[in-house]
Structure 1
Amino acid sequence: MAKKLQMCGTETEMREVAARICRNYLHGAWKSVDPTELEFRRISGGLSNFLYYVALPEDPSKLCTFTKRESSPETELETVASKLVKKSMARSNSFSIEEPKKVLLRIYGQVHGERAMDAIVTESVIFTLLSERRLGPKLHGVFSGGRIEEYIPARPLLTRELAEPALSMKIAEKMAAIHSMDIPLSKEPNWLWKTMWKWLKICKDERLNTIGKNEEEQRIIKQLKSIDFNKEIDWLKKFLATVESPVVFCHNDMQEGNILMLEDSANADDEMTTIFQAYDVEHHKSSKENYHLDEISSDSISSHISDSGEPKLFLIDFEYCAYNHRGFDIANHFQEWAYDYTNDAHPFYHECQDDCPTLEQKEIFIKEYLKHYSSNVSEEPQEPSIDDVNHLLNEVEAFALASHLFWTLWSIVNASKSQIPFGYWEYALSRFETYQRLKIEVIKKDNCGLPQKRKICEVDI
């Protein structure tokens, strides 16, 4: 199905496809509007996803009767995800019976093998459950080649906004909400290690045998090739096994591009193209290199505050969601403070480790997180103690290593296959060098932790 949909090359052809899909899965005026009257444009796209904005015409007279054509493959093929989503939608009261006026149509790109399809099914289920809890966009429909999502007039946060106290505390609240969810997935925290081992095999079999495009790339590849990643993963797994960190349902990629802040509706449509490039999961770290957000300052936050005085945030991109140790999710978020992906020139990102949160900023975030997590899972919530905060600070310090090694391997995997302009090789080396530095700091620190942890730490720096 995805292949068939991708073959629609012209805008007219894709408009017809979009109209047919919306007609099959939405109700009301979507059933009768002529495709030529729809507001339609492509927002973003790469090898993984194609994203389109589709809206009903504002003029009611254009909602004319449209003769429905023969059934299409989208209606004939119903995936496991479709069935699960329909059952979930029937139970949920978060889906309004009022027809949506604007939607986002996601068409899956290259999908290879059962594992890839399993990932799509899993993401669709997660998307639906988070939608029910109002943590992400609504899901209006799922078909074998993609899905229909809620259009949210919002923009992704800027890297520098992560340090804004009001936003940081709200992000902590959102993270606590996700961590307190019970999702019908394996509760074993194996995702991190399985993913890294899978990526390492690709790195060793293919990526690190690549010839660099220039001398700098060749130098970096040679340097990365000399690293014993097997040894690093083994060491890290043993080290983290000594860290007591609860296993919860994690987002695993809470970077600024995956956190949307609701915009004023009057200005939302003008910024739509910029906003929803963040939805393309393939872009991930480099999704923001095409943004033009220089005119948006931190002062603009004040215009996106709810009546309760809090920022209105939504989370997106659930590709990496899985059960994992909470320390990883929080540590990974803190590390993203240092990386700004809006650089227009190679390597298409800025790195400033000095922008990582201070101890005080970490403590504020963690206190807010623990407070909301406790209220979510307990009938008698308690204020976090100093010991609770310090324990989580130690978790974060340890799992920061995992964050850097994880994205090192991710970047190497994408270095050759991705067509997105991004300095993957430079990014991989940068993340690994930070991993090495933090590893040495953790090992040398006087209060490293338990004796057995100290013993593991002292092996093979």
Structure 2
Amino acid sequence: MAGPERIELFIDENSVESGALKAMQTVRPSWKPDEIKFKVFTDGITNKLVGCYLEENKKDMVLVRVYGNKTELLVDRVAEIENMQILHVNGCAPELYGVFTNGLCYGYVHGVVLDTQLIRDPKVSRLNGREMARMHHIQPANGKIPEPSLFVKMSKYFTLIPDSFTDAEKNQRYQKEVPSTTQLQQELESLKGALLPLNSPVVFCHNDLLCKNIVYTEAEDKVTFIDYEYASYNFQAYDIANHFDEFAGVDEVDYSLYPDREFQLAWLRSYLQYFHADRPQPVTDREVEILYIQVNKFALASHFFWGLWALIQARFSAIDFDFLDYGILRFNEYLKRKDEFLGLQLPE
């Protein structure tokens, strides 16, 4: 597998366009600098993103993504590059053209990013299940399934969450509205005790399937998952649970949008039909019910994971987003749903 171009370049996140122009000299050397147009994307809350293209061929757009401040603490950048290449070879991701000191250049996927309405559209949600099943079938190069990343990453995140904030108002909210580190560690241990015995299969997961990381290309009747910063081998039920949690949106989070049992059962049945497409026997009601219970229990782990993540971002990120508020939301939803989801019983 030929690797992407290595570019000796550091792009200042406050002057992304001039840096992107330099990157194009390597990945699109035939493009004349004065003819290159830019499209700035503002959807991400982790990185800065700009698209480079020529007016006469907008289809060939190159995205330049500049990593957010200290995001290497949260994201394994070497693994991300490997994942993008594996996914591209498997037809699940655009091509990675180049890697520079603090970011990447890669292909643009044409279509519309999902919103809280489109994500639950019956046709689009079926495509999401199909694409997820396809990604979950990707095998490791050496044939050996690695350890699931969920609890390893959360242990690492615990070492990075702040003790306090210098901003007095922020610090007061933090001390008052976020459970103490001791309480969070106790919660995590009990969560681990509840989730590991479920024996959810370990598969290649995206781990961050929120609305804006899914592009729907109607003309081709397909969806493409983008942004693979958190992709890794992980629990199957976690990837699906995280996707369901994200039905609530990010900018104005509304957890009443979490899909109900009827929606989930239909989605899970469709997903399992794709996941077991090469199996002669049909998917059973029992299999759907087991996955439903696994997924709703793992939904708690998703809230917990992104709660920790948000506290770290609140400490380090330069992006204009209230990460502390987002973290509080995730932990509140975890505590609100905990008894209900952990109380679900697997069928005999």
Matches within 5 A, 1:325-340: 325-337=235-247, 339-340=248-249
One of 407, 422, 438 as aligned partner of 2:321:
422
What is the rounded CA distance, in whole Å, between the counterparts of 1:319 and 1:221 in structure 2? 30
Q: Secondary structure at the residue paired with 1:18?
A: helix
Structure 1: which 5+ runs fail to align? Answer: 24-29, 60-99, 263-303, 343-348, 451-461
Aligned mate of 1:14, from 19, 32, 52: 19
1:231 to 168, 180, 186: 186
Query: Which of residues 128, 139, 163 in structure 1 aligns to 2:85?
Result: 128
Of residues 268, 276, 285, the one that matches 1:386 is 285
> Does residue 88 of structure 2 align to residue 189 of structure 1?
no
- C-alpha deviation, 1:396, in angstroms: 0.9
Give 2:295's aligned residue. 396
Determine which of 222, 227, 233 is the counterpart of 1:317.
227
Shift of the 15–305 alpha-carbon distance from structure 1 to 2, 3 Å rule, reads closer
Deviations 1:261-317 (A, max 9, x none): 22xxxxxxxxxxxxxxxxxxxxxxxxxxxxxxxxxxxxxxxxx254xxxx4211111
Residues 102 and 367 of structure 1, relative CA distance in 2, 3 Å threshold: same
Q: CA deviation at 1:56?
A: 3.2
**2:320 partner SS:** coil
> What is the DSSP-based 3-state SS (H/G/I as helix, E as strand, rest coil) of the residue aligned with 1:5?
coil
Is 1:252 matched with 2:207? Answer: yes
Matched, 1:350 2:253: yes
| CA displacement at 1:415 relative to structure 2 | 1.5
Match of residue 138, structure 1, among 91, 95, 115: 95
Encode CA deviations 1:158-215: one digit per residue, 9 max, x unaligned. Answer: 0122211111111111110111111348733341112111111112xxx23224542x
1:149, distance to aligned residue in structure 2 (A): 1.3
Q: Equivalent residue for 1:86?
A: none
| Corresponding residue SS for 1:6 | coil
Normalising by structure 1, what TM-score? 0.66
- Spell out, residue by residue over 1:201-235, the C-alpha distance to the aligned partner (whole angstroms, 9 max, x if none): 112xxx23224542x76144334253511111111
Bigger CA drift: 100-109 or 9-18?
9-18
Structure 1 position 179 matched with structure 2 position 136: yes
Structure 1 counterpart SS, 2:178: helix
| Distance (whole Å) between structure 2 residues aligned to residue 372 and residue 448 of structure 1 | 23
- Shift in CA distance, 238/141, structure 1 to aligned 2, threshold 3 Å: same
Question: Quick check: 1:251–1:322 contact (8 Å CA) kept in 2?
Answer: yes
SS at match of 1:209: coil
Tell me which residue corresponds to 1:161.
118
Query: Aligned partners of 1:424, 1:104: CA distance in 2, in Å?
Result: 25
* 1:369 has 2:271 as partner: yes
Matched, 1:210 2:165: yes
1:35 aligns with 2:40: no
Structure 1 position 200 matched with structure 2 position 191: no
CA distance in 1, matches of 2:337, 2:227: 28
For residues 80 and 147 of structure 2, what CA distance do their matches in structure 1 show? 17
Equivalent pair of 2:98/2:105 in contact (CA under 8 Å): yes
SS at match of 1:350: coil
Rounded to whole Å, the distance in 2 between the matches of 1:12 and 1:443 is 48
Deviation at 1:424, TM superposition (A): 2.2
Q: CA deviation at 1:433?
A: 2.2
Q: Which has the larger radius of gyration?
A: 1
Is 2:213 the partner of 1:261? Answer: no
Could you tell me how far 1:364 is from its partner in structure 2? 1.0
How far is 1:150 from its partner? 1.3
Residue 307 of structure 2 contacts residue 331 of structure 2 at CA under 8 Å; is this kept in 1?
A: yes
- Contact kept, 8 Å, 2:124 with 2:216, in 1: the verdict is no
Aligned to 2:250: 341
Q: CA RMSD in A?
A: 3.2
Structure 1 position 104, deviation (Å): 1.9
Secondary structure of 2:198's aligned partner: coil
Number of residue pairs the alignment of both structures matches: 340
Task: Indicate the residue corresponding to 2:3 in structure 1.
Answer: none
1:103 pairs with 2:6:
no
SS at match of 2:10: helix
CA contact (8 A) 2:237 2:295 kept: yes
Matches within 5 A, 1:36-51: 36-43=34-41, 49-51=47-49
Q: Which amino acid aligns with 2:131?
A: K
TM-score by length of 2: 0.85
Cα distance in 2, alignment partners of residues 17 and 415 from structure 1: 31
- Structure 1's 223 and 122: CA in aligned 2 closer, same or farther, altered over 3 A? same
Contact 1:106 1:146 in 2 (8 A): yes
The 2-side partners of 1:153 and 1:142 are apart by 22
* Most deviating of 6-15 and 429-438: 6-15
Corresponding residue SS for 1:420: coil
| CA apart distance, 1:361 | 0.6
- Distance, in Å, in 2 between the alignment partners of 1:127 and 1:142 is 12
Give 1:13 deviation, angstroms. 4.7
Kindly tell me: are residues 253 and 109 of structure 1, through their superposed partners in 2, closer, same or farther at Cα, counting changes over 3 Å?
A: closer
Distance 1:225 1:36, change over 3 A: same
1:435 matched to 2:334? The reply is yes
Q: Which amino acid aligns with 1:200?
A: F
Pair 135,200 (structure 1): closer, same or farther in 2 beyond 3 Å: same
* Letter of the structure 2 residue corresponding to residue 341 of structure 1: V
Are 1:2 and 1:145, in contact at CA under 8 Å, matched by a contact in 2? no
